[in-house]
Amino acid sequence: MVLPPVDAVDPIIMNRRRDLLSDLRNTSGGLDQVLEKTVLMGVAFHHAGLTTEERDLVAAAYDEGVLKVMVATCSLAAGINLPARRVILHGARMGSDLVGPSMLRQMRGRAGRKGKDEIGETHLCCQKSDLESVAELMEAEIPSVESCLVPGKRGMKRALLEVIATKLAISSDAIDDYVKKTLLYHTIDQEELRSMVEMTLKDLLENKLVEQTQSSSYEATRLGQAVVASSLAPEDGLFVHKELRKSLEAFVLDGEMHVLYTFTPVQAMQGNTNRQIFRKEVDMLDENNLRVLGFVGLKPLLINKMAHGGSMKESTPEEIEIARVYKRFYTALQLRDLCNEMPVHVVARKYDLPRGTIQNLAQTCHGFAAGMIKFCEKMDWGALAAVLDHFSDRLKAGAKSDLLALAEITFIKSRTARIFWDNGYKTVGAITGADSKELIPILLLAQPRKLRLASDDEEKYHAKFLAKAAKIVESASRIWERQIQQEIYEEE
């Protein structure tokens, strides 16, 4: 069935699609140019490259019947409740490999849902050469649930370190009793499990994450406690410890790159490194930030070599760790731009990455930064913890120091805060005394693109901005009142 032309669509549905466009324009990244063309036709797409706000708006509109066709990646199969009357799978591969039986069942399961449709259909389109494999896949049994403690998932090391650090199990007998309560105990050979536990404990001892007392019980070292407190995997904790030890020897305080590198999540290096962009950004660093390169172990000569087609070996653990430092610094450059009030969509375009990837970095770095501060406190590195803690507020606000007070207000973050500042609203008190209507032109200035709307749409759009401005004034008033009460309390 071909989608009906726009003029044949129910006026109520069409108005809701226009509202959806308005809401998408109002997100931090602005309205995607493709969605701007397709939403009115009832078509949208959904994948991990969209920002959280965009995904939520598109998913809600599809669930409510405002959108009729959703083009999606396999991300739609996991954890998203979006039933459909008909699911069409364009192939059964992710990259060059066939999807597993569980993934296929998840995607097929979107077709038809009680309370939504009486029936559901799934159509799988594939190459003729894949026909036999796909037929077998459709009949395949769902694999059994597997414990996350199996050797390939490296979960046992984290689990044993946690129970020892929290003193839940510190003796060999207590550890054996703990292991007997896991799924792994009931799914693998007992001798294999015993050997696995012994090897894990040996590894924790060798890496100085735990130590044995005179009574032969186990105790977490200061490093082990720091790894657990910062919620890191042991392997990541050892990497971070090595990096922070280098920072203690020489930390560059007259620049921001060293702090930002420290706050960059070790698992956030997503997507490919654009070597041309990497070299360009490194060439633009000032003298202070260039010193950071040397302290963390980066060589500008190698970055230049890679930009000209050279490669970096990653065949040994040492080479993998070196490559990890380069990738982390590249991600730190993205974090630097976010902290310097560059909008998510601009950073994404600059580094040729999906907006969702950049937004995910902005969100995950907050928790990682808190973990790094905890790590330093547990290691008794008070001075380094204080330096990191001082910068963490900028990380949350995505703005420079002069905007931190404004960034506490609802809806005012990063670029929006700077526009308020530039237009004379430099304090929370100034916004508290403002009329909501006065703030609408400022909020319009904060939009990524200049809008051209029909008169009806413009009226609705301004109404939404008025409601947003009212919430900003309300939030500023609460903060202002709290600050005054705090001042009165301190005077008493």
Strand pairing report for 43-46 and 69-72:
parallel
Q: What is the full per-residue pLDDT of the chain (492 aa) written as tens digits?
A: 567 777 788 889 998 998 898 888 878 777 888 898 899 999 999 887 788 888 889 989 988 889 998 888 776 666 566 777 888 888 877 777 888 888 888 888 778 777 777 888 888 888 888 888 888 888 888 888 888 888 776 789 999 999 999 999 999 999 999 999 999 999 889 999 999 999 999 999 999 999 998 888 999 999 999 999 999 999 999 999 999 999 888 888 888 899 999 999 987 666 678 999 999 999 999 998 899 998 998 998 999 999 888 888 888 888 888 888 999 999 999 999 999 888 888 898 999 888 888 888 888 888 899 999 999 999 999 988 988 888 888 888 888 888 888 989 988 888 888 999 999 999 999 999 889 999 988 988 887 665 555 556 667 777 888 888 999 999 999 999 998 888 888 776
User: What pLDDT is stored for residue 314 in this prediction?
Assistant: 83
Q: Where are the alpha helices (DSSP H) in 255-381?
A: 257-263, 275-283, 287-296, 300-307, 317-339, 344-350, 355-378
6-139 homologous superfamily: P-loop containing nucleotide triphosphate hydrolases (3.40.50.300)
User: What pLDDT is stored for residue 271 in this prediction?
Assistant: 65
CA distance 471 to 480: 14
User: What pLDDT is stored for residue 44 in this prediction?
Assistant: 92
CA distance 320 to 313: 8
End-to-end C-alpha distance for the chain, whole angstroms: 74
In words, the CATH class of domain 151-220 is mainly alpha
Domains of the chain, residue spans:
6-139, 151-220, 234-398, 406-491
User: What pLDDT is stored for residue 456 in this prediction?
Assistant: 61
DSSP 176-207: HHHHTTSTGGGTS-HHHHHHHHHHHHHHHHHT
CA distance 84 to 73: 15
User: What pLDDT is stored for residue 86 in this prediction?
Assistant: 86
User: What pLDDT is stored for residue 315 in this prediction?
Assistant: 84
User: What pLDDT is stored for residue 319 in this prediction?
Assistant: 87
Q: Where are the alpha helices (DSSP H) in 109-189?
A: 131-139, 155-165, 172-179
Instruction: Please name the CATH architecture into which domain 234-398 falls.
Output: Orthogonal Bundle (1.10)
Q: Which residues contact 433 (CB under 8 A, 6 or more apart)?
A: none
User: What pLDDT is stored for residue 198 in this prediction?
Assistant: 93
